[in-house]
Structure 1
Amino acid sequence: MKLRAIELKNVRRFVEPVRINGIEDGVNLLGAPNESGKSTVFDALNALFLIPHRSTANAVKQLKPHAGGAPEVTVELDTPDGRFVVSKRWLARREARVARAGTLIAQADEAEAWIARLLGDNGAGPAGLLWVRQGSARLDGGTTSEQQAALEARRDLLALVAGEVQAMTGGQRMDQLLARCREELAAYVTPTRRPRSGGPWADAQAVVAHLDQEQQRLADSVAALQQALSERRRLRQERDELQAPEAEAERASRLKQARTQLEAAQKHAAEVRAAEQRLQTETLAAASAHETLAALRRALAEQRTAKARADAARQALDAAQTGLRDSEHHFAVAVEAYQQADAARQTAEEQRRRIQAQQAALAGAARCKELGERLDQARAARQAVEEASAAASLGPTDRDMERLQTLATALRTARALRDSTATRIELHYAAGQQGRVMQDGVALEQDSAHLIHASTRLRLGDLGELWVHPGAGAGELADVEQARTRLSQALDALGLDSLDAAKRAHQAAQLAEHRRREASARLDALAPGGIAALEQEREQSLAAMPAGSNDDAAERPFMSMDEAEAAFRTAQTAADAATARREAARERRDQARTAQTQAQVRLEGAEERVANAAVALQPFTDTDEAALVRGAAEADCRRQTAEAHCAHCKAQAPDLDMAQAALTRAQSIQDSARNRASEIAQALATLDERIAANAGESVEERLQETQEQLQLARRRLHGIEREVAVLQRLETALEQARRNAREQYFEPVARELRPLMHLLWPDAVLNWTDASLLPRSLERNRQEESFDILSGGTQEQIALLVRLAFARLSANGGRHAPVILDDALVFTDDDRIERMFDALHRHANDLQIIVLSCRQRAFRNLGGKVLQIEAAG
């Protein structure tokens, strides 16, 4: 089946009838904010197809609106047999109806049976498998009964294309073989494939490990004995070489020679230190002589420089005083010119203010006149608003018209329902018998349908009378009368006699409202703050005008404002120029004062420097510069002589550090030889004891026996391991055979699912469980991940793709059912949601998919047909 339209009435928030039209093949999107009724539509469809119309279960009661009423759900759907209209009403006047082309074909229990045949034999239909409730994207969600129903639906689909499970998995014989193989394997290994404690394999491994350790221990003992013998021979040879007489004599001679060389080097080092001390003394004396000569020369030069700078400072002070007198005269002249220019500027400014006041008086008079005209227009607009408001209040409101339209629609609907169940008669007169059948004195026409709503008498000419008693329809007649009464009462309450009169009155009220809005707009444009504010503004303008002035008698200025502005700018420019000249003269005067002060400070500093130079020359009063030059030259000569003697001593000195190192090395050789001889003696004693102990244990013979026993134990262990490997290989082969058979069972759904999975995870494989027929794990990147540890978004995406695959299987088996997803992708990121949209469109070629979502921005790029919830009729 494929849905084409959905209509709800008295279902939760939808008290008035609403309808979703234009549902097409492929992808359909109903996007709307939260609390707009998407989940209500989903629950209503679920109730229509799965809950009997006589049920009072909680699922039905939850559909009832707060205002009360009987929930009604109607759908139009296409099947291979054509288009049908299926409707149900619960709680009050309960009914179930199936109609085709306006003709009722089943109602009550027959309608329920027709819906059950449409859904399939198991009665579960697409709910839980192809219809995803909000927050229930997982395949294993819902109550126990819902899970069992979904399992049966999956099992029926797979059985339809793959046959019986028993035939595909090899039957009981394979189970027996696998159990026998595992029983024999259990004697050797644990369930984790480790050697079983106390078993043949574990015992054989223990024997091999023990013999291997014993062989290693004995081999180590043999190797240690051989190493000890070799070490003893080497140590004896080293001892003989150290204790040879010629070696001892050579070490003693080297030590004596090193001591003699060290004593000679130490004596010469004392002579070098004495020469260095003399050189240091002469160097200090020469430096002192040169420093005294330099100090005298610096003092003389400083005295000459200080006197020259003092003379220059006196000349600069005289020039600065002359410049100060000139700058003070120029400043006084500039101040007088500034005062004259500022007085002219003030006169021009006063003249400009007077002209501005005169022009303001003229503008105020014009403003008062313009405000008076606006006030008259605003009062006229207010009167038009009041008249239009009174006319607009006479007609029915929009809400009244909506209620009248709803009642008229209910009347038309009741009449249509009455006519759909009414008895129809059609007459076909024989030749010459036209008009013989009469109803209430009126002849019935030929070849036209006549509806009989109540017991009716027909006169058949000479044949007599025919009474027609309809078997049903009394309820529909009452509904028509009730709807007509409600409409009449609503018209009477408004003082109207017909719906057309209500429409005319409403239209007249709307025209009056349009005139009111136009007049109100004019009033707002003329008086934005209201007429009172406009009147207050006019009064303020009148009060602001000079006493006795008006637009006719206002004083005219003797010159234009432009002329006054030009005169003011001329005076202002002259004043600014005078101000600039005054400030420049002030700055030059201040600079002259600063220059005089600086010249005075420099003169005082120069005179102080001359005094300091005289003080610096006092220590050299009795000193001759020539005598100081001769003393410095003599000191340099003595320093050079000491320097030459010190260099000669250093050149002839032996290397003291080398002599000390040679003695240390000779002594070390002597001590090392003595210590090594003692160590060798101790090591030989230890080796003799070790060799004597190992020689009595016959370790070489015991090593050969252990090696023979180890070879036998390893051959036995190899046989056991080969038997275990054969059993494990057999178990793997049997499990693989069963797995291959199971894969053949799941191949139809895997074939449909494979291209969808590769849109998100290339080369990924989904593994299944036999019991629940649901995914068990996901293999990707050569790793298998349990379905339970995957992220919420990944589980959600896999669940949706699996539902699409089952939908294709259902369609291939001749069971077409729409896929309905109520906010099914709540955990999916932006990148994957685009690929999920591609998956939906890939499977939408021969399916009908309806997506309900509050994420309007995220699902904007889904594509497909966009649906809307609209008022019915």
Structure 2
Amino acid sequence: MRLHRLTLTDYRGVDHRDIEFADRGVTVVTGANEVGKSSLIEALDLLLEYKDRSASKDVKAVKPTHADVGAQVEAEISTGPYRFVYRKRFHKKPETVLTVLEPAREQLTGDEAHERVQTMLAQTMDTGLWRAQRVLQATSTTPVDLSDCDALSRALDLAAGRGDDGQSSTVNPALIEQIDAEYRRYFTGTGRPTGEWAAAISALADAEQQEARCRAAVDEVEQRLDTHTERSAQLAELEAARPAAERRAAAAQAAAEQVAEIVDGLDTAEREAKDARLTAATAAAAAAERAALRDELTRREAAVAAAEAAVAEAAALTAPARAAAEAALADLESAEQSRIAATAAAESARAVTEALRRRDEHRRLTERLRRIDAAEADLAAVTAELSAITLTDSDVRRIRDADAEVRIARAAADLAATVVQVSAEADIELLIAGQPARLTAGETREFAVADAADLRAPGVLTARIIPGGSAADSHAELLAAQARLAELLSTAGVADLAAATELDARRRECRARADALRATLDGLRSGDHVDELRRRRAELDAECAASHDDLSLAAARAAETAAADALAAANRAVDTARRAADQAVAGRAACEQRSATTQERRTAARDERDAAAARLAAARSTTADEQLAAAAAAAASESQRAAARVTALQQQLAEAGPARVAEELRTARDAVDGLDRRIAELRQALRDITVELAVFGGEGRTSRLDEAATAAAHARSAHARTRDRALAVQTLRSVMGRHRDNTRARYVEPFRAEVQRLGRGVFGESFEVEVDSDLRIRSRTLDGRTVGYESLSGGAKEQLGIIARLAVAALVAADDTVPVLIDDALGFSDPGRLARMAEVFDLVGADGQVIVLTCSPERFAGIAAAHRIDLTPERHPDAEDADYLRKPILV
């Protein structure tokens, strides 16, 4: 296959592009990034693979966004005996046009044209080789896969020659295809049954399943017959057992009725016994109540006697307690008088001490206010001096900067100034720039002139000295710097930098002095307001007018402490006397309270005794004590007899076993009910089975089983025949596959030799590669060191990939060759490798067609015989941010 020309119109961002490729050799197409180089390969694939009406996302992706038009791709291609021009328009108004130029001219359109191109390519081009001979940006370092390239296999078969037996080592591809076709009748590509073999397996499975279903249907009829016989026998047994169950239920019913009679008698006896117990309890309670009344009267008489004794004892203790309380109260009154005197003495001493403390406070306040007034006066003087100084920190910095600029400018002016050297041969008076200068004979002096100046010897000569431009500029800069300095000095009110520095130092000194005075004032004030301090001193002036000048504060405080100690002792004496008085008064009150309480208890005891005697007399007037005792004894005897009758009936009921009788009755009745229910179920089941057997009799299940068994036998026979054929072709394919693999192992060597021949021009004479049976490069050896392909650098992988594809182009027959497409490769290669790769392109490219797309033409500058095409972008007038390309320029 050869690609002669490719034309793109309205393709993505391409307005129109028409490229003609060299039929042989290397064509290098260069252009900037995103100019659309990779679109050439994409457009060619869309043209050859997709119909013009395809809705594939790949086709939709190339539609131009700047105009409502369809993308067009046209190519002129040669393949085998055919040469044709093929054009398609996608998206809008889709169209396909084919013009066959050779061997016979013909023209087709639409799907017919698409199918014709597919047929020509299938007949003449190895599609596996067409895909393999590409080096794309995304896969430039991926090993090339050549396992499905039939054209390369044929070329390697020829290169490998005959086998050891003298026969051709070539495996006939047609035979392999026939074997594969026959294999695909029975197996899929992964070895699973398909086609006839899968149909035979499925037919056998279906026949066996049908036979199993029919056999299950016949077995179901036999199962129903067995079930009918079994259920009939069960029904007869249950009907025979029913009379015995009924007799058992009748006996259980009679026993239950006897138990019911005993239960009724027991209920009556228990009610009578309960009434007798109540009567006996009432009589016993009346007798007990009469005895309680007698006992209560006895207790009340004893309580009256005890109360009389307590009243006498309390009266004997009350008189001494009253005398002790009166004595303690007198002692307390005396202690209170002593404390009053001590309190007055302590208050007098405290007043003297407070007066002396205020006198000392008045002295301290006076001194503190004096120091505050002095500090405030000093601060006012310093603040006034500081306010008169207008110079600031920034003024000083600017003056210093300006002075430095003046010094720098003066130094520059001195360096640039013109130096005039004057030597006097006799005494002479000179005027230099208007300034007099006297020179004696033989004296030599130098003058630096920064600006134009006159040199005069009055009455003799006048010379004009004009310095160079740089000197004038330096002098002008000096004057400007001096003017700026003078302006700053004038504004600050100082004569020069020294004065400014001195004034700044004085300003800083005044500021520090003011800060120190403020700190002193803050310390003297200590947070107090001065006016408040003066007001407090005025108050103390009045209070201290008549102070105790003859007494010291320490002596006053000692007297105050002694008075306070005396007062404390008086307070303690009062507390002691008060506690003694409180105890004596409390004792007296307790004795008086005890006397009153005992008298009240005595009165209450007498009242309770009289009430108990009255209650006993009233009870005896109604019933005598002996009558109550006799009635209680009779009631107790009757209660015992009733309890004996209840016990006898309970024993009789226990012997009858009511729970056992009830359980037997329930069991007997459940047995009868269960027999009736089971008999009804069996009768219904027999009726259902009879109906099913009647239905089964008309279905012909036995005949269907015979038919299914016959069909299953036929399916087994067909399955065995198909299995034999499938296994045979599987064995044949395996044998031929091993033979083809052995053949491949022999023709790997020609491919490896060609790769090594080309690679040695790049890597050196020690270059070797290992190639597997699928023609993939597995490792590279240089200078005896072997490195696996995956461990190689990106540059080495790219170079080996291109060399492998060029080796394929050199090996395949001229009729089988396809273009080698390289898209922006060799980006990982150094300049030396690039130069040697160019030699390989020159060596191999002459016999085939190689198309290189790159944005870095310098990588392929070493290819001497290359045809070069430059793609230049242009801006379309109707599109925004879309690059369009002019027609390529052949270089």
Output the TM-score relative to the length of structure 1.
0.47
Output the TM-score relative to the length of structure 2.
0.46
Find the structure with the greater CA-based Rg: 2
